[in-house]
Amino acid sequence: MLSLRNAIYIGSKKRASLYDLTIPGDFQGDLIVFIHGYKGYKDWGAWNLMEQAFVEQGFGFCKFNLTHNGGTTENGIDFPDLEAFANNTYSKEKFDVQAILNELEKHLNPMPRIHLMGHSRGGGIALLNGADKRISSVITLAAISSVASRFSDEKMLAAWKETGVRYVKNERTKQDMPHYYSQYLDFVEFKEELDIEKACKNLNKPNLVIHGDKDTSVSMDEGVEIAQWTNSPLYTIENTDHVFGSSHPWKQEELPEALEEVVTIVSTFILKQQPVKLADENTQLASQLVALTKVDGETKEMELEFLLQISEQLGLSKEDLIELFEKQIAVTPPKNEVDRIIQFYRLTLLMFVDQEIHHEELKALRNAGIQMGLNPTATEEVIKLIQLYPGKGIAVEKLIQIFQVNHN
């Protein structure tokens, strides 16, 4: 396990800033890099609890302060450096993402699969960096879809140009946060590089868009635009705001319900991308299905087609599958119950990957649960939940709870 807290990286204009990096002991190769939003920072609200929730599922997690967000290496929370904040620009924030990726390369070899996730303005910055070859997918939470629209008020621009500075009240700290006119001039200079629509349409990797339907800070329309431009799914969290029910300071020990749902959706999204790396695990899963089809002494054509489809998803060839039939490899479910539950869950996700499932597949899935020694009532509840909420998955904590309640 690797854990760095308040480590220092050097970003835009050679300014130092803070970052956290956690790689759990059961790391499976997926690292989420989180970008905070406007007037935000890595330790805002429930972001630390969100990090913990992902790490508990075996994901690595990195969050960092943008270099010109108003924080310092001594105090990353209360905006002690308003001069830095005043000089911030979108292009500096875009550069900071490149800087943090370079920093991660110093600690991680080989580089894991990077899932760049940004909130609000940070979501727009994530999309602008999406073309980086080190990034496997992009995830946006209540993201902006345009930088240009932030400078569309002609009257505001005229007054800003005349005074050279404008202020925005920070309701938490009661500070008047300065913005120098150079922020707008930077946008004009780098307009092409800051075109989120263009970045979205050129993005050729998995993308996930999440937005709250009660967001009054960034309109749901912007989430719709991002989803359309990237041809990506848009998940709407009902009855929730721009920060998914969180606030600062967040004194509760649990995530707000809406943010917990975000974690579940993101986890499932990443899990579906995850290549099955362990050949032994692949063989065990395929062998389990082969054994089930041979229970009645005959493998039906429908069952064979289903096995070929699943084997392909597991990275096994037709020849590999034939070998499993001939060798009659014994199926050995994991000894640890939690591992068996997770294996069953992954098998369930594979079967529901197209959000459709047939009778024969359901039968095989139920039998797989029995063969693993799992409680039939609990496995049935998992199957029903996946059917009710296709694509959203089940939080690991909820999954374990289902089996605890229905323990044999």
pLDDT tens digit string along 208-247?
999 999 999 999 999 999 999 999 989 999 999 999 999 9
**pLDDT tens profile 297-340:** 556 665 677 677 767 766 778 887 777 776 655 556 666 677 77
Q: Which token pair is 95?
A: 């550069």
φ/ψ of residue 32, rounded to 5: -90, 125
Question: Nearest to residue 307, comparing CAs of 326, 293, 328?
Answer: 293
Residue 288 has pLDDT above 70, yes or no: no
Given the DSSP bridges, would you call strands 2-10 and 234-237 parallel, antiparallel or unpaired?
unpaired
Q: Start-end ranges of CATH 3.40.50.1820 in the chain?
A: 2-273
Query: Which among 338, 326, 345 is positioned nearest to 285, based on CA atoms?
Result: 345
- How far apart are the C-alpha atoms of 241 and 306, rounded to whole Å? 42
Give SS3 for 343.
helix
**Residue 123, burial from CB neighbour count under 10 angstroms (0-12, 13-18, 19+):** buried
Confidence of residue 278 (pLDDT cuts 50, 70, 90): very low
Relative to beta strand 60-64, strand 16-23 is antiparallel
List the CATH code of the domain at 2-273.
3.40.50.1820
* 277 has pLDDT over 50: no
pLDDT of residue 320: 78
The mean pLDDT value of the chain amounts to 87
Single pTM value for the model: 0.72
Using one digit for the tens of pLDDT, what is the confidence trace for 164-216?
A: 999 999 988 999 999 999 999 999 999 999 999 999 999 999 999 999 999 99
